[in-house]
Chain A
């Protein structure tokens, strides 16, 4: 019998180690696995490399992980969302490293990593500073940039529903990076608002097949970054 459920967010992230690379799903607050991030803050792992599209807002979730000083490097496309002060302050103080990646290249690097593709050529960023130092090659008369696949030690994502086999459904634009990150994490962890027995979800509708998921955590009423920020929350 396969049952990937673990008892709590804390149990799910217990073995994340110092220096780990961690992919964290979400585009802004949509899809941000706040409970798993907060459990990671409690757990205490440091010197993390975080791969995520943004850097969080306010003093909760991803921003709180940064504020706690646990992150050595961020790989992302858009670190300065309105309402984000933690990352800009750390970056200007030289306390966190940034690898800026165009959003589509970030998505494709994660997809490639999870799919066993070491690297690929893309026209995105050719002729711009983000191609500096990268291998270039001309295809069909057009310059392309070599980009490497990305993998991580752990992936933290949020789903609307998951089953005991780790099959996952998402909610609207909360899907964003999660399906690729699920494939690229050595250990991929999903928090889901609904967790059901295998055989309950329609196999035709599964977005992330369970083979990519290692741990399922039931978080029935996940917090939203904007609601926490409006309430003036900070974590811990």
Chain B
């Protein structure tokens, strides 16, 4: 079957595709915190030859992959409360030490999910502010306050088609001006002092298609 790119919605990257794209941008030796949910996929796609050290804020550096189903230790878990393993060189520590790593700027990178990202780098990812919602924040506000580079992994729009990359966030903020770069199913976009700036389009996706689904102007940098 063939489809015309102009009539059919381009598929862009899958969740795994986004994760693989993020992993390409993480340098060897980096200390990285992967947020709960879609960012957890990134660990599967680290390019050969690179060693990353994963931090999970509940108290482990050197987190390894999940054990086989039914295996593992119920007290060796990640921030999503799922069982994990530990790598050679791993270390355990308490919560004050863990957040000293985070808030103190010792981690190189944080990869988080998002409800909204604004052109000024504001992030909203903990609450929609709905009256019946149970607010829960975990370590997200500490991560964005302290980690040098914050990558956001997200679908470009919600399941209902609402824009997630916006001029200004309408949901309660996690942090102001904290997002470095956004990886969506459609594109890689930097957050710069000039606003959103295109880094790369997903295969088969046009710039106009991305811009139509983005709530603020995207600069096309011809030098890229």
Contact = CB atoms under 8 A, between A and B. Distances in A.
Interface centre among B56, B141, B146 (most CB of A within 10 A): B141
B132 A103 contact: no
A71 interface: no
Interface string A152-177: 00000000000000000011111111
A224 B58 CA distance: 18
Given A103-B57, A130-B141, A176-B95, A28 B77 contact: yes
B137 A102 contact: yes
Given A107-B99, A111-B96, A27 B59 contact: yes
Interface in A88-124: 88, 91-92, 98, 100-108, 110-111, 122-124
Contacts of A226: 74
Contacts of A100: 135-137
**Most chain B beta-carbon neighbours within 10 Å: one of A31, A88, A130:** A130
B59 A173 contact: yes
Interface residues of B, number: 38
Interface in B145-194: 145-146, 172-176
A227 B75 CA distance: 12
B134 interface: yes
Interface string B92-119: 1111101100110000000000000000
B52 interface: no
A78 interface: yes
Interface in B37-68: 56-60
Contacts of A207: 94
Interface residues of A, number: 52
A224 B75 CA distance: 9
B158 to A, nearest CB: 20
Nearest to B139: A103
B61 to A, nearest CB: 11
B77 A122 contact: no
Contacts of A175: 59, 92-94
Interface in A51-91: 53, 77-82, 87-88, 91
Interface in B122-138: 132, 134-138
Nearest to A88: B134
Contacts of A82: 81
B136 A123 contact: no
Contacts of B174: 128
A129 interface: yes
Given A29-B74, A172-B73, A180-B95, A128 B59 contact: no
B134 A79 contact: yes
Contacts of B77: 27-28, 30, 173
A115 to B, nearest CB: 10
Contact of B95 (A92, A103, A128, A224): A103
A72 B76 CA distance: 31
Contacts of A125: 141, 145
Given A122-B145, A123-B145, A123-B146, A176 B58 contact: yes
Contact of A27 (B58, B96, B146): B58
A221 to B, nearest CB: 13
Given A100-B135, A105-B141, 12 more contacts: A27-B81, A29-B74, A79-B135, A82-B81, A102-B138, A123-B145, A125-B141, A127-B176, A128-B172, A172-B75, A178-B94, A180-B96
Interface of B: 56-60, 73-77, 81, 86, 92-96, 98-99, 102-103, 132, 134-142, 145-146, 172-176
Q: Which 3 A-B pairs have the closest CB atoms?
A: A104-B99, A104-B142, A107-B95
Interface of A: 27-31, 53, 77-82, 87-88, 91-92, 98, 100-108, 110-111, 122-130, 170-180, 207, 224, 226-227
13 contacts: A28-B58, A29-B74, A30-B75, A77-B136, A78-B137, A88-B134, A101-B137, A103-B138, A123-B145, A126-B145, A126-B175, A172-B60, A180-B96
